[in-house]
Amino acid sequence: MASGGRRLAGYYPLIPVPLPQVVNGIEVYSTKVSCKVTSRFAHNVVTTRAVNHADTAKEVSFDVELPKTAFITNFTLTIDGVTYPGNVKEKEVAKKQYEKAVSQGKTAGLVKASGRKLEKFTVSVNVAAGSKVTFELTYEELLKRHKGKYEMYLKVQPKQLVKHFEITADIFEPQGISTLDAEASFITNDLLGSALTKSFSGKKGHVSFKPSLDQQRSCPTCTDSLLKGDFIITYDVNRESPANVQIVNGYFVHFFAPQGLPVVPKNVVFVIDVSGSMYGRKMEQTKDALLKILDDIKEDDYLNFVLFSGDVTTWKDSLVQATPENIQKAREFVRNIRDQGMTNINDGLLTGISMLNKAREEHKVPERSTSIIIMLTDGDANMGVSKPEKIQENVRNAIGGKFPLYNLGFGNNLNYNFLESMALENHGLARRIYEDSDANLQLQAINDLTFTEEVDMKEMEEALKERDYIFGNYIERLWAYLTIEQLLEKRKNAQGKEKETLTAQALDLSLKYHFVTPLTSMVVTKPEDNENQTAIADKPGEEPVDAVTPSTAYLTSYQPPVTPYYYVDGDPHFIIQVPEKDDAICFNIDEDPGTVLRLIQDPVTGLTVNGQIIGEKRSSQDSQPRKTYFGKLGIANAHLDFWIEVTPERITLWNGAAQSTFSWLDTVMVTQDGLSVMINKKKNMVVSFGDGATFVVVLHQVWKKQPNHHDFLGFYVVDSHRMSTQTHGLLGQFFHPFDFKVSDIHPGSDPTKPDATMVVKNHRLTVTRGSQKDYRKDASIGVKVACWFVHDNGQGLIDGIHSDYIVPDLF
């Protein structure tokens, strides 16, 4: 599917390309997007047609990524001339119907979070051999003014050649169209000109982009498509009057776009999260975007930067004017920003607010100027004041209604409700920033703020009816659209009876006008295997971060193992699974706290894993031996010059001389040169070195007031098939095939745990049947693993003696 998205003040209908190049007999032979815009209200119809050329039934999927502010209004599925429509229902009613379908083992389509655009509509259906299927999705959205023009931004990315590919836009503006243009980033102007037509006259404008198959090819003989990038339509309207009122069928909408007003100088403080979780792509995006914003800042503006992690630092002591010299220094400062440490949102924001207040009080900025504070963060506060309610109270009191706060949140796994609520109550906005190539456009758009006039929607006693519009009762639908948006916005900060009333009003309008909103869902019944199948289009709200499903990377890493696995966890218990025997061997290592043990060493791949032992705070009973655990792990790849130190408090990464620190309160993924590190908040860390070496570190946290135990770590090897035959270590030596035989099973000193004789590595050992636990899926409960326990620190099972594996330090 297409990827890309919305700028903060623009309209982005996204081009759906639901299938890859012809696969398994399925051909997508038509993809068309029809946009009809009347008085800035866009009605978009996305139609995709496919045919199954195979001899058997095949599954065909349809995906469309939508802007968050768009409302789906219809979806139909047509198979062999029979159309199956969608019906909008109250969310709970639709959910029950959806869950019933899922419980019957049927697939389903739904709108869900998907990249920076936030929502993705997905549905699939089985299509019989030789049959055709047509997917048609309709959604509507109000265009907003961006940099002086209305903009339709379409992300084009078919990934294949499509026989009939077409984008059309028909625009009707009662005020008259003053300019109309179109451009594409993926094609030269010469080629674009031959596939593009555009025209406007008076109130009407038309744009059509219809490339032939040859024009779609990336080269004359290629079968892959060059249609990959941005297709942008921009236009503006005549503005003899600063305001424009549309009145149709008793509904009116007021557009307000002041013209000719002087530009007011801005005082901007950027409050930037530089905690460890901003490592990598997020920090690159932030710096790229800030550098772009610096290009657009006017010389009359004033600015400063506040950086926060565990502590707070500033670029300058106070705001400075955006002179060419200062802008150059600001660029140097931005390029040198580095990530590190924890996340202290409260102190970072209060520092920025204080800076703006002080500049105004001491008359260091122009009297006639507007102040703005912009925060960029990807995580929850985990240092200093950390309760969202208290941070909001502190920020609200400090700002005192004097200027707006804009919050930009990176990624899926953050408390977006907190950021949005805090921005709204300080007259600002919150936006998500996702990790794709053009996120800097979202950040840049904050610098081009749009001020609008809120209008009361009501019926006019005498309505002036203008009938020459392009699609249906658009003003009535536009009125409903804006009213629903307004009710939902007010609902976010409402309480009790007021919230119930706003919810009921928004739900009533959503159902009446067939909009998929956060209160409604669209249910589609379609055929599969001669049975009805239910799909649901569900527009998500913004849930707290704790409700977010674990990342795909984490789930993928926990498929049931089909290869041997090896781990050490608990006191510390080493477990070696031997699939050929359908059994496992386990042993303990008893050493003093502070001892570092070599777990894995492979001189060929350069991988090394060491672990440092910690002890209990004190013995539970004087007569009992002190329990020990792993409290620190060092994972290194000498060939990549990459090192990871893991403790129950933090994860520190070194890439050469560059250092990054993450908290276990972060959810973040770092990728580089075939290496990936995935931290799953308060649960585990998955480290993969390409295809063939994957480790999991499990975090064990005890009750804070627990008198005896510390937090500790478990280490699991879930994939080792690319490790060399020279691999060694307490775990690594078992990566190579070995055999053992158990005989003479008889009662032991503990009647519940029989003893036996094991022959392994030419040694005859007495072993005891017992069990340990695998904590990968649940660190608090674990899953029992039966094993034969080898006594005396694994002597006779491990090569040499256990003290041979003691090393001087972690790396």
Angle between helices 388-399 and 345-361 (to 10 degrees): 0
Which amino acid, one-letter code, is at 592?
D
Which pLDDT does position 535 carry in this prediction? 52
Asked whether 661 and 534 are in contact (CB, 8 A), the reply is no
Query: Does residue 587 come out as left (phi exceeding 0), alpha (psi in the -120 to 50 range) or beta?
Result: beta
Asked whether 120 and 66 are in contact (CB, 8 A), the reply is yes
Asked whether 48 and 66 are in contact (CB, 8 A), the reply is no
- 204-209 β-sheet, strand order: 196-201, 204-209, 164-172, 26-38, 41-52, 132-142, 71-79, 82-90, 520-528, 531-538
3-class DSSP string for 430-445: EEEECCCCCHHHHHHH
Whole-angstrom distance, CA of residue 277 vs CA of residue 803: 37
What pTM did the predictor assign? 0.41
H helical segments located in 255-315: 281-296
Structure tokens at 19: 């299938």
Beta-carbon neighbour count of residue 517 at 10 Å? Answer: 23
Which pLDDT does position 547 carry in this prediction? 28
Asked whether 449 and 372 are in contact (CB, 8 A), the reply is yes
Q: Which regions of the chain are under pLDDT 50?
A: 1-20, 102, 105-118, 241-261, 436-472, 527-532, 542-562, 620
Which pLDDT does position 100 carry in this prediction? 61
Common-topology check for domains 26-240+516-540 and 266-446: no
Residue 443 CA: distances (Å) to CA of 185, 264, 274, 293, 772 = 20, 20, 16, 8, 51
Residue 672 CA: distances (Å) to CA of 3, 200, 274, 551 = 22, 49, 20, 18
What are the boundaries of each domain within the chain? 26-240+516-540, 266-446, 553-807
Q: Within its chain, how far is the Cα of 690 from the centroid?
A: 22
**Which of the listed CATH numbers 3.40.1130, 1.20.950, 2.60.40, 1.10.20 matches domain 26-240+516-540?**
2.60.40
Which pLDDT does position 630 carry in this prediction? 94
Q: Within its chain, how far is the Cα of 103 from the centroid?
A: 28
Q: Torsions phi, psi of 162, nearest 5?
A: -120, 125
Which pLDDT does position 574 carry in this prediction? 95
What is the CATH number that goes with domain 266-446? 3.40.50.410
Which pLDDT does position 458 carry in this prediction? 32
